[in-house]
Structure 1
Amino acid sequence: MNDDARPTGPSPDLTAVLAGIERTNELLTRVLAEVATTPSTHAAFVDAGYVYAAAGRLVAGTEDRRAFELDAEGLIEAFIDKARTIFPDSRLLRVYWYDGARRRIHTMEQQRVAELPDVKVRLGNLNANNQQKGVDSLIRSDLESLARHRAISDAVLIGGDEDLVSAVEAAQGYGARVHLWGIEAVGGRNQAEPLLWEVDSQRTFDLEFCKPYVTRRTVVPHEHGDAAADGTGNGGTAPTRDEVRFVGARVAARWLGERGVPWVTELLPGHPYLPGAVDQELLTAAEALLHHSLRGHADLRRVLRDGFWEHVQAQG
């Protein structure tokens, strides 16, 4: 064959291969661009039984729920606030609150928690000895399912049972990172070592963190009258929503005068949430003005924040 007659371009087979590679590269570029713009998502999985026992032991010296009141709403918001600082570029999917109840029927306290925004209450059973049954399996199911469906990139696990190790391993197998949070133990440990070994990071909350959310009761609920039965220590009628809203605005006005507009308006990017410490300060100030405890009244606490935010935003 004459050299001048030989083909100068790639063969048809090579052309097809090159075209396929180019299409693949374009597809990968689009996928990577989509992944880069997809925000990370985190969720918190809270074993309420662990939290009550550990916080009660640390602050009140007892694990008996009847002997102390846990401000579950305030503590959940503190967990949310802490997660926001640790995962600043991630959005919260929700907080899962796992607790036990007889015949899986919500108690009044669990109903109040269930009403909170971004919180999902999941109930296991309580046996005759007030021991939770089925809670660990609920945590395992939710954690593994969300990780498998790529619904979360980070999972905050607040608990201590060794039975959760398999859930941690499964979630990690699907690409999620699992972060174990715990409450300081009075002596020894209150989280299983195998669980500590498997997670991606650990964090422990100390007495100073937990103290604002635990209050020892002076009487046992349901045994000494209505004031004890609701765990508030209030003997009188609860304030109205309008009264609580007004007090929220009043505290905001006082803080604006004392601390200046810049300090208060720094809170605006976090709306409708307040940092845990600020939220507790607002609660304490409002209770002093109302002469009535709002702990255990999730609806009134939301109204309190609404009144606070309305005044702040009106000045911003």
Structure 2
Amino acid sequence: MTDPRTGGPGSAAHPAPAPAPGATADLATVAAAVERTNELLTRVLAEVATTPSTHAIFADAGYVYAAVGRLVAGTEDRRAFDLDAEGLIEAFIDKARTIFPDSRLLRVYWYDGARRRIHTTEQQRIAELPDVKVRLGNLNANNQQKGVDSLIRTDLESLARHRAISDAALIGGDEDLVSAVEAAQGYGARVHLWGIESVGGRNQAEALLWEVDSQRTFDLDFCKPFVTRRTAYDGAGTAFAPGAPAHQAAAPSRDDVRFVGAQVAAQWLGSRGRDSLAELLPGHPYLPGSVDQELLVEAEALLGLSLRGHADLRRALRDGFWDHLRTQY
């Protein structure tokens, strides 16, 4: 502090100059801008805190068919077994719901190969499923997929870059997917590798296992309900199960099955009560695995036939179930 006896700055003889009016106005403007910025930051942070997490499932169909076929049917040849792809996809969705309980599903990406990228009948049915996007690579002369890995990388990287997903469940095993994992992680997404139990050795590249944030393997009990081995054929080349007649009664219509779905829903609601209904509605159009299995068993008992090989009729069954529940809410 300056000695007042010297008459230096700040003394009684020479008081410090008052700030100019313009300087006071500038300070007030800066203070107001800082306060406004803090307010905006507070609002952004509050919005981020309340924004739900989002996850997506990326499934390499070639890996799924080969791994599930080898595990359940003992072969990777798609011609030797039927895969209930719809049921398996729904099981994946249900599993993701339990693993990411506070997250919503963006969609399932189903990557497969096709000649000239023209959808097969089966791929068309999968593409019609809600929340499922079919992405096609090419098939070469040896029925090998080409371009699928690059499609997975493009989608994973794009969604992570735009913050469209916080978690990615990747079902595959090719080492070429490592770059896709690294790209998504570079934008802050977590990548979880899902695989099918291997009969012998590994069916996923070690380099891929090293890069992901978590790993999960689906065993025989999980996969078995979705595979039917083609063991015999009738004269027209149609597969049927051992011991079953080659020509069975015609399947019921979609309307018939939809009506049965509504019947089961009425029984379910009567035994569970409206509180259980309120818990189901946020998951529409998906049903928890236990409820979906109960619906299928009850419907098959009422119809007197199995719906395991009729993906379109199972969709009608669920539609009828939901139709009844939504009218009661």
* Cα distance in 1, alignment partners of residues 176 and 201 from structure 2: 19
Match of 2:319 among 271, 295, 306: 306
* Cα distance in 2, alignment partners of residues 21 and 9 from structure 1: 21
Alignment of 1:130-209 (within 5 A): 130-209=143-222
Deviations along 1:249-296, whole A, 9 cap, x unmatched? 233345456x54379635444332112343244334434443455445
Q: 1:224 to 1:67 in 2, by over 3 A?
A: farther
Root mean square deviation of aligned Cα: 2.8
* Cα distance in 2, alignment partners of residues 260 and 23 from structure 1: 52
Q: 1:143 to 1:14 in 2, by over 3 A?
A: same
Match of 2:125 among 81, 104, 112: 112
Deviates more, 1:127-136 or 1:287-296: 287-296
* Cα distance in 2, alignment partners of residues 107 and 73 from structure 1: 15
Deviations along 1:137-191, whole A, 9 cap, x unmatched? 1001100011111111111101111101011111011011111111111111111
Q: How many residues end up aligned between the 2 structures?
A: 311
Structure with greater contact order relative to length (CA < 8 Å, sep ≥ 6): 1
* Cα distance in 1, alignment partners of residues 255 and 17 from structure 2: 88
Letter in structure 2 aligned against 1:261: G
Deviations along 1:78-131, whole A, 9 cap, x unmatched? 111111111111111100000011111111111100000000000011111111
Q: 1:158 to 1:241 in 2, by over 3 A?
A: same
Q: 1:296 to 1:145 in 2, by over 3 A?
A: farther
* Cα distance in 1, alignment partners of residues 74 and 297 from structure 2: 23
Identity percentage of aligned residues: 79
Q: 1:61 to 1:188 in 2, by over 3 A?
A: same
Residue 84 of structure 2 contacts residue 311 of structure 2 at CA under 8 Å; is this kept in 1? no
* Cα distance in 1, alignment partners of residues 51 and 18 from structure 2: 46
Query: How many Å apart are 1:234 and its aligned residue?
Result: 6.6
Q: Give the 3-state SS of the residue equivalent to 1:246 in structure 2.
A: helix
**TM-score, length-scaled by structure 1:** 0.87
Residue 63 of structure 2 contacts residue 173 of structure 2 at CA under 8 Å; is this kept in 1? yes
